[in-house]
Amino acid sequence: MLRALLLGLVMFIAAGPARAAGDVETCRNSTAEPTARLAACESVIADERITGPSRAAAFWFRGDSLVKKRDYDGAIAAFTASHEIAPQNINVINARGNAYSYKGDDERALADYDLCLQLRPTFGTAYNNRGVIFMRRGELQRALDEFNLAVKHIFNDQSRYLHHYNRGRLQGLMKLYDASLADFAEAQKVNPDGPQVPAYRCVTYTGMGRFDDALVDCNAALAKSPNNVYGLTSRGNAYLGKGNLDAALSDYDRVLKINPNYVRAYVGRGQLFEKRRNLAAARADYRLAANAVAAQREDIDTTLARAVAKERLEALLGTAPAGKATPPAGPRKVALIVGNGAYRNAAPLENPPRDAKLIASTFRELGFAAVTLAPDLTRDKFFAALHEFGLEAEKADWAVVYYAGHGMEIGGVNYLIPVDARLKADSDAETQAVALEQVIGAVAGARKLRLVMLDACRDNPFEKTMQRTIALKLVNRGFSNIEPEAGFMVVYAAKHGETALDGDSPNSPFATALARVIKEPKIEVRKLFDIVRDDVWKATNRTQQPFTYGSLPGREDFYFVAAK
């Protein structure tokens, strides 16, 4: 018995190094199946007996895997661990720089690319990556200088393709069209089937006015990726330039069906509406583009489109309808009231539809010129309602939105959840939910008071099933803090990061207090929400505290009910 036990122990000890060697081999095998490779690398990291290049490679692959999951903080930590073991490995430093760049931390990314070039001044990839950051920032000449160095230090076909098409894209934006086309031709020699060349050359041809050539390239890119919003919008822009407005509108509408937050499509459609002299619709689209969520790592095309939206919106504001003169009874007030309760893919909420009816009835009693009650909105109906309300807000002095239903913060963005949302992954929010900025954009056209109220800080209904792909802060309880521009007020039923209560009555504590206090005469709106806050705090035994963000014009007081 003892002999058998000792023999088994010897076999176990002997198997340890063999298993470790197998893990090292699998971890360092670039052709290995990714899941098996990651498991092997994790085993290498867990085995402290393994040191040197093998351990550094394991941390590198962990970091690479985390980048693919958009866990940039975790990736940076893994790349740093790899760098500490192999401080001269420029590929690890470059990978960490990329993770910083994806995270939006450009300064740290540039520091890593600089370190790469200190170690190897001919490392073309670092020049290319610096150029991408400068291009994204709008520093186009600086970006061109970097891409020129990247092309000078090409070291394989992959880098030749990448560096040439990036420089070609940039030169198209700089209107250096012949140089742009020459770079795209060089890139295409290396990789004739690469999708980036036709996608970006389409934009260059559109800038040149060669719309038929642009359409050929856009169609080639879309043949490989039919629902790519970049390619569809670029084709819409080519159709717009050619004068085929119906085809352009079809592409823009298709993009916004896929991603209702896509800035370039709103701008293109706004320009189309201008051509058709539908200036109200143009202003609405420009306003949605200007107020759309800004990504942490926004590409140059979106940045330029957003600038166009702001410029055209400002130019068109003088064409907005003046509306009726403010009557002696007070300013013209309009409201959009949304109550989402009949969720199809999550537990339904009973209170929001009742809360919405209560607030809508209260606003009608207060003499609002228009009150739109919109219960149980799907994604498409939600965006349509915001679009229509934005047009109505332009003709009003006050524009107010009240929303009750599910809402949450994902990756630093606050979202309102339509009743048909599935949110199988947190990243689905971008295309399935409504960003708070879009709601703020809908009230932006009002002349005086722009107010958004959110009785929506409820728990994440998809918590148990939602796949995590965004490592940025994901709040399961309520919304995150915001800082709206001057002239806007946003009121949360519960302070950021907290959950609003439904209460024991047919209506939520916030809706109940609001409907009561708002009817009292001569209470200025800023003080009104202080009173609502105190009443909700008391009614919930100090468990829920509404909070107000933003600021209204300081030289004017606002009253829901004037003095009797």
Task: Note the pTM of the prediction, 2 decimals.
Answer: 0.82
d(CA 484, CA 397): 19
Would you state the pLDDT for residue 361? 97
Q: Which of 528, 525, 523, 546 is nearest to 536 (CA)?
A: 546
pLDDT at 472: 42
- pLDDT, residue 430, reads 85
Q: What pLDDT shows up at residue 23?
A: 87
Q: Which two tokens stand for residue 157?
A: 């076909």
Structure tokens at 373: 């009650």
List, for residues 430-448, the tens digit of each pLDDT value.
Answer: 889 999 989 999 999 999 9
pLDDT at 2: 44
Q: Residue 60 has what pLDDT?
A: 96
CA dihedral (417, 260, 284, 357) in degrees, to 10, reads: -20
- Alpha-carbon separation of residue 39 from 48, 66, 76, 208, 330 (angstroms): 16, 13, 19, 51, 68
Beta carbons within 8 Å of 14's beta carbon, 6+ residues apart: none
Neighbours of 497 (CB within 10 A): 16
**What integer pLDDT is reported at residue 10 of this predicted model?**
36
- Render 207-267 in DSSP notation, one character per residue: HHT-HHHHHHHHHHHHHH-TT-HHHHHHHHHHHHHHT-HHHHHHHHHHHHHH-TT-HHHHH
pLDDT, averaged in runs of 10, over the chain (564 residues): 42 46 86 92 93 95 90 94 97 96 93 98 97 95 98 95 97 97 97 96 98 98 96 98 98 95 95 96 92 75 93 83 54 96 92 96 96 96 94 94 91 88 86 91 92 82 75 48 72 75 78 96 94 94 90 86 76
The order of strands in the sheet holding 333-339 is 370-375, 333-339, 398-404, 449-455, 488-492, 547-551
